[in-house]
Structure 1
């Protein structure tokens, strides 16, 4: 392969897409939580039961990731929007190390940007929910929160891998993640805050300068991703094939920077004719 200067080797458009996508995800998440559980919530009177409001909040905020995935930003970068998911793809051999570093940095910066904008927009409303900082629920030990976050991250990553390993299911991955994340939020938000994403926890924590028990969110999700990769590889013994792509919504006409891509991809040569490249290595 030809050598590149350090500023040419990274894939800046993909990193920028991850930054903007993660900022959008965090902004929507904090905005929805603010409007459903903040002081003077417009839904509090209509729906006094928190479980009903939590279900509505889960359905709305969980849609932000899939919306990014099917947008031009997501079709370019793959819409990981989560360091744990990028780590899982790297462990599965789908990402170059420099792209992993670029994605992680972009996701963390995007989360800070999204949280900062949400705090500026909602002001006192956001402050009434501690600016969306994830924290253990009352009465739950830190270790139970860690197990919940680790187990649910494992479930999410494993589900994504299973869908992306099947040609018929792969295009339904955004829809699956929407329903799964909505259910996870409704179920686990009172226990752990349903982060499952170190960037989502890092952004509000940095903006609020609140670090109590935050280490659990930065450790549990990567461990859950590691477990998911191990479980997925064990499924090879029963006929489950490798992940076809590292994009949550693979659009053939968008370039793909990932390794060992087996999903269809269409590019053009110098004459403008369509070509289908072989598997990337």
Structure 2
């Protein structure tokens, strides 16, 4: 069980320069990701008269989020590990790969980065609404929780296999690509039902800026559960118990 490796961290860790730099990297990576992902939907709506909910809009959203996440993970990988997602950070914490104090720093930076990106988009577009995630007709909140759980499980499982597994070898080189592609694929699968967030920060920014909180809890519960399950499954079944967990400098 990886749970024995869970650590709170030292009291002074939150003020250490490397921890602060890592949090700052997460902040900027989140701005890059949300600005491109949310902005692509706003641009598509403007160009097609609110056509972002069409099949073409879904494909555009999937591609924009996949490309932006590949970049956002890559630019933060050597500093913070390139989590760019509170659920990924939670999954890393459950597996003993990051302390609670550092995880809290990451969460604050990720949420703040998402809000700043949405505020920038609202200003740059002359006041266009940053659309909050929501459920489509016929989809219940618990349907959406399962959607988010399964999609985030796939995402965090991919993170473990390509970035956290000590045996990853050369596979680690393609981690940002694999992570971006699974997010894009999941948006194609779930985007028409609940928006396919897989990322509490990505949901939080637009919800705060547009002040639209309908079923917002779905986009926290589902991803956090999915991340925890992925961490427990991968760590218990595929990571050699004799190996030491990765240091935070590795992820």
Report the TM-score range of the alignment, normalised by the length of the smaller protein.
0.7 to 0.9
Deviation per CA, 1:108-150: give whole Å up to 9, x if none.
Answer: 11111111111111235x32xxx12111112211110110001
Deviation per CA, 1:240-273: give whole Å up to 9, x if none.
Answer: 996975xxxxxxxxxxx617x5x9xxxxxxxxxx
The alpha carbon displacement at 1:160 in A equals 1.5
Task: Name the CA distance, whole Å, in 1 between partners of 2:155 and 2:16.
Answer: 33
CA contact (8 A) 1:134 1:192 kept: yes
The alpha carbon displacement at 1:49 in A equals 9.1
* Relative contact order, higher structure (CA 8 A, sep 6+): 2
The alpha carbon displacement at 1:220 in A equals 1.0
Q: Which residue matches 1:258?
A: 248
CA contact (8 A) 1:161 1:243 kept: no
CA contact (8 A) 1:108 1:202 kept: yes
Task: Name the CA distance, whole Å, in 2 between partners of 1:225 and 1:198.
Answer: 11
Give the 5 Å matches for 1:258-277: 258=248, 261=250
Task: Name the CA distance, whole Å, in 2 between partners of 1:10 and 1:173.
Answer: 22
CA contact (8 A) 1:51 1:186 kept: no
The alpha carbon displacement at 1:57 in A equals 2.5
Q: Report the TM-score when normalising by structure 1.
A: 0.76
Q: Which residue matches 1:53?
A: 57
Range that drifts further, 25-34 or 4-13:
4-13
> Which runs of no fewer than 5 residues in structure 2 stay unpaired?
1-9
More helix by share: 2
Task: Name the CA distance, whole Å, in 2 between partners of 1:123 and 1:87.
Answer: 35
Residues 68, 138 of structure 1: alpha-carbon distance in 2 compared, 3 angstrom cutoff: same
Task: Name the CA distance, whole Å, in 1 between partners of 2:65 and 2:55.
Answer: 15
Q: Which residue matches 1:65?
A: 69
Q: Report the TM-score when normalising by structure 2.
A: 0.85
**What is the total number of aligned residue pairs between the two structures?**
239
Deviation per CA, 1:26-59: give whole Å up to 9, x if none.
Answer: 11111111122x1443895xxx992233213311
Task: Name the CA distance, whole Å, in 1 between partners of 2:139 and 2:115.
Answer: 27
Q: Deviation above 4 Å: which 4+ runs of structure 1?
A: 2-6, 239-245
Q: Which residue matches 2:152?
A: 153
Give the 5 Å matches for 1:232-251: 232-236=234-238, 245=246
Residues 95, 195 of structure 1: alpha-carbon distance in 2 compared, 3 angstrom cutoff: same
Give the 5 Å matches for 1:169-188: 169-188=171-190
Task: Name the CA distance, whole Å, in 2 between partners of 1:49 and 1:223.
Answer: 27
Residues 174, 8 of structure 1: alpha-carbon distance in 2 compared, 3 angstrom cutoff: closer
Task: Name the CA distance, whole Å, in 1 between partners of 2:197 and 2:85.
Answer: 10
The alpha carbon displacement at 1:74 in A equals 3.5
CA contact (8 A) 1:35 1:43 kept: no
The alpha carbon displacement at 1:9 in A equals 6.8
Residues 5, 89 of structure 1: alpha-carbon distance in 2 compared, 3 angstrom cutoff: closer
Matched, 1:26 2:34: yes
Residues 93, 185 of structure 1: alpha-carbon distance in 2 compared, 3 angstrom cutoff: same
Give the 5 Å matches for 1:207-226: 207-226=209-228
> Which runs of no fewer than 5 residues in structure 1 stay unpaired?
246-256, 264-281
Task: Name the CA distance, whole Å, in 1 between partners of 2:58 and 2:82.
Answer: 25
